[in-house]
Chain A
Amino acid sequence: MPPLLDVQNLQTHFGTIDGVVRAVEGVSFHINAGETVGVVGESGCGKSVTAMSILRLIQTPPGKILFQGRDLLELSEPEMQAIRGKDISMIFQEPMTSLNPVLTVGRQIGETVVLHEGLSAREAEQRAVEMLTLVGIPAPGRRVREYPHQLSGGMRQRVMIAMALACSPQLLVADEPTTALDVTIQAQILELMRDLKTRVGAAIMLITHDLGVVAEMAQRVIVMYAGRKVEEGTVEEIFLNPLHPYTRGLMGAMPKLGSSLHETGRTKLTEIQGQVPSLRKPIIGCAFASRCPGVTDVCRKIAPAIEQKAPAHWVACHYAERAMAAA
């Protein structure tokens, strides 16, 4: 069966006054129906740009984005509008600013079903109440008539989730859905997303800084660096046997064999020495070369291709074999 989403060689560049920013440089990946895929990487590596390219919230980049077999990059704007919020929906990082301050919560949730399912305003409000109940907001009948400023950050993110799931999408793109929230609320929101995923059956593209979140939520992981995919694999492969020096750097220390995923879980991305290369110039050789502890002349000259190293494990490093032998 073909994957639900198949991104092929996505290249999102921005023309700015001081040159072209190569935010996403030839990224390919896929997401199967019902699957949760984690996307991790440092700030500025192109996670959000990839997500927004899929929904075409930024100008159409070259490449292919096949969704249920259709190339989203070739659709007209009205066709794309019919897909946004219905088949693919998105949750944003900032719950405090992502809701419209002058429209009621009910209106904002209901708008999706009015647009995509042709419900009347009254039916839409009904649905909004149902959705608020589903995401665990108390007194939903009263809350639908309230405005975002009357809700806490955690509640607003629940509203965002309610809005995103109102039309039961096939794919939910969640861009750091819990980063702005405090820890207890984070756990609640993740719990909610996992719970809803089993009910609605949506696939999730989960963008995060938090490796713990990936370990808890995802089946597969994509590691991005400087606009490129550097490693991809199942959660077990990536956590127990990371092959790319960048991925290892992210984890701070190699997890010991046999340790449970949950022990490695709560580790945030640790700082890696050195600077991310500028995206304004083409990068020659491996993008990670300038920060890699095991860098050689080959790395500085030739960009490594992404290769399959295990049944469910791909990596772009000239010395992946060395890492495998060491493990």
Chain B
Amino acid sequence: MLAYTVRRVIATIPVMLIVALFVFSLLYIAPGDPAAIIAGDQATPDDVERIRASLGLDRPFLIRFTEWLFRVMQGDLGVSIFTNLPVSHMIKQRLEPTYSLMLLTLIIALTFAIPMGVLAAWKQGTWIDRLVMVFAVLGFSVPVFVVGYVLAYTFALQLDWFPVQGYTPIGTSFTGWLSNLMLPAVALGGAFIALIARITRATMLEVLSQDYVRTAKAKGVGQGAILFVHALKNAAVPIITIIGIGFAGLIGGAVVTESVFAIPGVGRLVVDAILRRDYPVIQGVVLMFSFTYVIVNLIVDLLYTVFDPRIRY
């Protein structure tokens, strides 16, 4: 198990390197000359050249990449072009709201999606099944910002059950934290719930037709234990796989959700940075999101062995 873990961790290194290379190249791929933009409309060509040199934009790509990579590995993500603050510091300040939102979304998605999928598979072809599938299609096709505005209008403005926007740190007040994040998490979770419920239903349908489910029934095991112990554990690998893959959508959705609900998270930071072409910040945030994604999928890889003993360490 330890050897497997170490091997999986090592396997993420090339992935991270490729991500880093891509993130660094962003500056070259993206349209517009950052030096010209920073210099502003009134600048002379000389000014632009000076700024280009100060950013190091005039030196060879590979050298700059290597230097940048070494700094990144020491936790130095550069300095924001606009605020002149260290990027790592700016991101760190905004990590809590973003990770809180993702975590709460994940918890809500799992508690609803898995029982929904299991129920739909068990009651295949009935109105319960159809209801779940309709929800799955809706959750998938309605964009996060639409759900977000509808929820905010109904539950915050009209009913006044939750704050309309903003964020309370969990350290300040847990209930404040929860009530601030509840609507954003539900809005963000819709598509995720739909995705997980669908895959749970499909996988459970297949598992429920297996011989060992019949064996369990012949032993006198009750319906609940058949579904949630005998069958669900067999369905776990495809389900956690889709959670890992779907996490990418969650990251994208979080950026949008933070804008809708004015949550001061990394998503807002990156949106502002993109508007201002603040490349060091964009690079830092993309790197941080990629790193999160890789870590989540590493955890998924490790969870496989917990759920399926046939997967070799």
Contact = CB atoms under 8 A, between A and B. Distances in A.
B218 A100 contact: no
Given A57-B214, A92-B211, A97-B210, A102 B219 contact: no
A81 B211 CA distance: 18
Nearest to A104: B309
Interface string B222-249: 1100000110011010000000000000
A84 B308 contact: no
Given A100-B230, A149-B309, A85 B218 contact: yes
B112 interface: no
B234 A102 contact: yes
Nearest to A166: B219
A86 B220 contact: yes
| Most interface-central of A57, A82, A102, A149 (chain B CB within 10 A) | A102
Nearest to B310: A149
Contact of A97 (B211, B220, B236): B211
B153 interface: no
Contacts of B309: 101-102, 147, 149
A115 B221 contact: yes
B310 A94 contact: no
A126 interface: no
Interface in A176-207: none
Dominant secondary structure at the B interface: helix
Contacts of B236: 102
A78 B233 CA distance: 24
A89 B219 CA distance: 7
Contacts of A78: 222
A115 B220 contact: yes
A99 interface: yes
B217 interface: yes
Interface in A86-108: 86, 89-90, 92, 94, 97-103
A101 B307 CA distance: 10
A102 B233 CA distance: 7
Nearest to B236: A102
Interface string A108-128: 000110011000000000000
A149 B234 CA distance: 14
B307 A102 contact: yes
A101 B215 contact: no
Contacts of B221: 81, 85, 111, 115
B216 interface: yes
Nearest to A94: B211
A144 B211 CA distance: 21
Contact of A82 (B217, B220, B223): B220
B149 to A, nearest CB: 43
Given A97-B211, A98-B211, A149-B310, A103 B233 contact: yes
A217 B221 CA distance: 30
A323 to B, nearest CB: 39
B305 to A, nearest CB: 11
A145 to B, nearest CB: 10
Nearest to B230: A100
Contacts of B230: 100, 103
A176 to B, nearest CB: 13
A10 interface: no
Contacts of A163: 215, 219
Interface string A47-68: 0000000010100000000000
A97 B216 CA distance: 12
Given A147-B309, A147-B310, A149-B309, A99 B212 contact: yes
A136 B222 CA distance: 30
A98 B220 contact: no
B220 A102 contact: no
A112 B233 contact: no
B215 A81 contact: no
Contacts of A115: 219-221
B219 to A, nearest CB: 4
Contact of B220 (A92, A94, A112, A149): A112
A237 B217 CA distance: 37
A92 B214 CA distance: 9
Interface string B179-222: 00000000000000000000000000000001110111111111
27 contacts: A55-B218, A77-B223, A82-B220, A84-B219, A85-B220, A86-B220, A92-B215, A94-B211, A97-B210, A97-B212, A98-B214, A99-B212, A99-B215, A100-B212, A101-B212, A101-B308, A101-B310, A102-B307, A102-B308, A102-B310, A103-B229, A111-B216, A111-B219, A112-B219, A112-B220, A160-B215, A163-B219
Given A98-B215, A103-B229, 5 more contacts: A81-B221, A84-B219, A84-B220, A92-B214, A115-B219
Closest 9 CB pairs of A and B: A85-B220, A85-B219, A84-B220, A97-B211, A100-B212, A147-B309, A90-B218, A98-B211, A81-B220
